[in-house]
Amino acid sequence: MIAGVVRETYPGERRVALVPAAVVPLGKSGLEVLIEAGAGIEAGYPDDTYRERGARIAADRAEVFARADVIVAVRGLGANPAAGREDLDRMKAGQIVVGMLDPLWRPEACRELAEQGVAAFSLELMPRITRAQSMDVLSSMATISGYKAVLLAAEALPRMFPMLMTAAGTVTPARVFVVGAGVAGLQAIATARRLGAVVHGYDVRPAVREQVESLGGKFVELPLETAQAEGTGGYAKAMDEAFYRRQREMMAKVVAESDVVITTAAVPGKKSPVLVTAEMVRGMGPGSVIVDLAAERGGNCELSQPDQTVVEGGVSILGPTNLPATIPYHASQLYSKNVVTFLSHLVKDGQLAFDIEDEISRETLVTRDGQVVNDRVRAALGMESPPSEGRAG
């Protein structure tokens, strides 16, 4: 079988789905690697590095789609709604597509993939179970987002993060408040602490308190009923508006006392909850910074705009939407490792050999034999569940 890697076409996307180090382990599973010329250049992986590992370089994109049994991408259709559609006619029935497809936010793209007859696996739907940890692209990319969010905040903040004692006087440390203690939030806490800031963290899931404190952060306790706040797979689940209103009221004081607020709260397939209101922003000191990692899904801050910096009352509100692409070398390395492990799970001795009863295969498979087969995606499309045979999710 041939695994084909195409150059990413989403605006600003600099990652590549497989790095040169992936060629050898995939070969052990019986997969050859065919890569579109220049696919890895922006991530720091020129064509020659792939050739040295045994990959073949395709003359053009069309050759990859024509020859590959498996198409591997960072952003497939759904996660690349405009340019990704140009590849639909290049796909052939029976081909396997693996990548991030954003199926719960843009489920209609899965219907289009089904019409092409491809078997599409969406890596965002990877179950949060122990044996799937090494395939979890959301966690890998969230690690990078949390790290880079702190660097953006440090650059925008008109003061230093660490406490310094100098002959000219003492510099007090910056106060950083991280909302959401998932992978991105925990990495943000760790990075801000390394830079010397005083860090507070909050999450609706009280179980993460120990993780926050283990990284040197102080856990903010809000007297809210949070027993039902943890959803499937360890994600926070959507709560009602009354809960979020009480939460905002209690968070206002902590936000006002912070120099930097980093928000990371997201609910899969849904609009992000508003946690920081315009009134709360106006209560912050001039020069303060908010980095909203949920800006792409509406934002945790009422004033944030995707990929823009909004200034309100001297407070800068940053809404970055694709931070992993700004550190493409290591983002590609982590993503590639996830993909290699996943492909090794699907392919044995050069043959597709996945078991639909296996949770990893079942939960990530979204289309097969011309049908959308994932229950969660079908629900998002307003479709009934499929028959049990060939069913997923």
Active site residues: 128, 133, 136, 139, 235
Q: Which residues contact 338 (CB under 8 A, 6 or more apart)?
A: 123, 134, 135, 136, 137, 140
The DSSP string of 326-347 is: GSHHHHHHHHHHHHHHHHHHHE
Q: Which two tokens stand for residue 40?
A: 């890895």
DSSP alpha helices (H): ranges in the chain? 23-28, 47-53, 61-67, 108-115, 137-156, 183-194, 209-214, 241-256, 278-282, 328-346, 359-364, 375-380
Cα–Cα separations (whole angstroms), residue 267 to 141, 152, 167, 182, 237: 16, 23, 48, 11, 6
Separation between Cα atoms, residue 373 and residue 375, nearest integer Å: 6
Nearest to 121 by CA among 338, 272, 294: 338
Separation between Cα atoms, residue 342 and residue 72, nearest integer Å: 11
Q: Which residues contact 214 (CB under 8 A, 6 or more apart)?
A: none
Q: Which two tokens stand for residue 232?
A: 């499937």
> Which three-class secondary structure state does DSSP give residue 269?
coil
- In the DSSP assignment, the letter for residue 323 is G
